[in-house]
Amino acid sequence: MLGGIGMSELIIILVIVLVIFGAGKLPEVGSALGKGIKNFKSSVTEKPEDKPANADIEDKTKKDA
């Protein structure tokens, strides 16, 4: 299946996650994980000309001046 993880191992992992976070927190954890993955993908696929590498530094120096 997923890199050598079988169905029984997946079930054990899901049970452990359910015990640790509880049923009420699972949607929040999933949402946060999804947002993190989305932000990561967008930052990886962002073109260099979209945002200069030194834009943050330039903004800070303009604010200080």
Confidence of residue 39 (pLDDT cuts 50, 70, 90): very high
Compute the mean pLDDT over every residue in the chain, rounded to the nearest whole number. Answer: 78
Scanning the chain, the segments in alpha helix (DSSP H) are 7-21, 26-45, 55-64
Contacts of 21 (CB under 8 A, 6+ apart): 29
Q: How confident is the model at residue 38 (pLDDT cuts 50, 70, 90)?
A: very high
Q: What is the pTM of this model?
A: 0.46
Could you tell me the pLDDT band of residue 36, with boundaries at 50, 70 and 90? very high
Q: Is residue 16 situated within a structural domain?
A: yes
Q: Could you give the number of structural domains in the chain? A: 1
Residue 49 lies inside a defined structural domain of this protein: yes
Q: Which domain holds residue 27?
A: 7-64
Residue 1 included in any domain? no
7-13: average pLDDT: 90
